[in-house]
Homo-oligomer: A and B are copies of this chain.
């Protein structure tokens, strides 16, 4: 009774998920390269090698597709906030904070993340809710994780901090600002070596601890 030419519901689901992923990957590349306005659903369909009808089956319009891509990118931040939370138990403040700062800058200062940031800033006027959402779920969430951890370290007597949120933001920008700010304006160059990034991290940690260590 089995008809080999037919697909099972499970196969169908796998194929649908694959197509959805192909659409999102194609759209991400186009949005990052050509901006929101410079990207059409026709191009997305062509690049993903699916029909336009299939694109619209998965995403009702371009804005919904854009939103799904941004939320997907924000979700990937999750892992790093766990690392930040675990640091609250450190037995070696300076060394562990240095290591954390190096991982932080290496995670954030990547071509894909920087392009996404540039795209979101460009579209913040058109899509304020999407930009706000991303901010809260990605950079804002990481800074909140640092604030929680710094507060715990202050509770353990290792740091002296009145305003954990302010101190966490200072920490984040001491580490990230120099390469990130340049990358926003110098879209075509960039490329910091890991050694460059480690130096920004180390210098940021040094300044932070000078101000906040007990």
Known: A177-B169, A203-B166, A203-B170. A134 touches B208 (CB 8 A): no
Query: Contact: B178 with A169, CB < 8 Å?
Result: yes
Pick from A9-17, A22-30, A101-109, A181-189 the stretch touching chain B.
A181-189
Pick from A40-48, A57-65, A82-90, A120-128 the stretch touching chain B.
A120-128
Query: Contact: A131 with B170, CB < 8 Å?
Result: no
What chain B residues lie within 8 Å of A132 (beta carbons)?
A: 185-186
Known: A173-B174, A177-B169. A185 touches B134 (CB 8 A): yes
Distance in angstroms from A126 CB to nearest chain B CB is 9
Assess whether A6 is interfacial by the CB under 8 Å rule.
Answer: no
Known: A170-B174, A177-B177, A211-B210. A185 touches B118 (CB 8 A): no
Q: How far, in whole Å, are A208 and B203 apart by their CA atoms in the complex?
A: 12
Distance in angstroms from A59 CB to nearest chain B CB is 23
Assess whether A156 is interfacial by the CB under 8 Å rule.
Answer: no
What chain B residues lie within 8 Å of A169 (beta carbons)?
A: 177-178
Among A139, A172, A207, which residue has the most Cβ atoms of chain B within 10 A?
A: A207
Interface SS of chain A: helix, strand, loop or mixed?
helix
Interface residues of A in 97-156 (CB under 8 A from B): 118, 120-125, 128, 131-132, 134-135, 139
Assess whether A204 is interfacial by the CB under 8 Å rule.
Answer: yes
Assess whether A206 is interfacial by the CB under 8 Å rule.
Answer: yes
Q: How far, in whole Å, are A207 and B172 apart by their CA atoms in the complex?
A: 13
Among A123, A139, A174, which residue has the most Cβ atoms of chain B within 10 A?
A: A174
Give 11 A-B contacts (CB < 8 Å), ordered by A residue.
Answer: A33-B125, A35-B122, A118-B125, A120-B185, A121-B184, A122-B123, A124-B185, A170-B174, A170-B178, A170-B204, A206-B211
